[in-house]
Structure 1
């Protein structure tokens, strides 16, 4: 298994759409104007922060770095934790259910170029803190509130 899709596919082959506990890592990439990079997701067509499921044997930081690269094309360094978020009732468009735990980091772009794969990532855009789109899930909404300093 060399990507989160492989692990989740393997897990789902055993449990189907039943609820499982999943741990995710990702975070906020800011540009020099203080805008936040969001990803329009292929599974829901909604916006969210770059991130994804942690692989077996991977640290939180390694997962955040890998997911940022896969979903945005950017190389990042991991900074402080912004917050830890849970949702005991996640439902994905394909019917999968999860109790998810998400760790949101401050991420700093140090290389690479923005790139969409048109499957997992349909669009990438920097948003000002006043110009938030509808986000993918409750955890991403809470992370956005923490980015604004409102929680």
Structure 2
């Protein structure tokens, strides 16, 4: 993943400290029900499409932009699949980030799937029952996007947050 200029500017003064960043994942299906994946240039692994929202950019627009930038496929977001705060991660250079991921189910509307930038080695459509090796993050999102269910989010404890202040 290429680091956006606005994050480079923040890092210039913030150093490696934890940054909370808005992440978007796009699970794109074609008319045959296949899912779009890219083989990442940084790890060589197949993955779902995703990226970081730019300042002022709506999350659904981020999904559309990232899918086109990485794969040359045009898509339309259909629904929010899940919203999740991911665990903090430390990059090899020491930068620490925590992503709040919003995953969208998207429908392909045009374009030819191909590696459209330096982030992907290759791009391809896969039958959901014949996926290449993927990390659990990707598999979970693909399966959730297939189902017609309400948006998933981590449950709040029964007492709710802040209940101890009102007890």
Normalised by the size of structure 1, how large is the TM-score? Answer: 0.81
Instruction: Specify whether residues 127 and 78 from structure 1 end up closer, same or farther in structure 2 by C-alpha distance, changes over 3 A only.
Output: same
- Structure 1 stretches of 5 or more lacking a match? none
8 Å CA contact retained: 1:44, 1:93? no
DSSP-derived class of the 2:68 partner: helix
2:58: which partner in 1?
Answer: 59
Report which stretch shifted further, 101-110 or 25-34. Answer: 25-34
8 Å CA contact retained: 1:4, 1:54? no
Q: Which has the larger radius of gyration?
A: 2
List per-residue Cα deviations over 1:9-39 (Å, max 9, x = no partner): 2233233333211111231111232111111
Larger proportion of strand: 1
2:123: which partner in 1?
Answer: 124
Aligned residues: 148
**Aligned alpha-carbon RMSD (Å):** 2.6
Normalised by the size of structure 2, how large is the TM-score? Answer: 0.75
Runs (4+) of structure 1 moved beyond 4 Å?
none
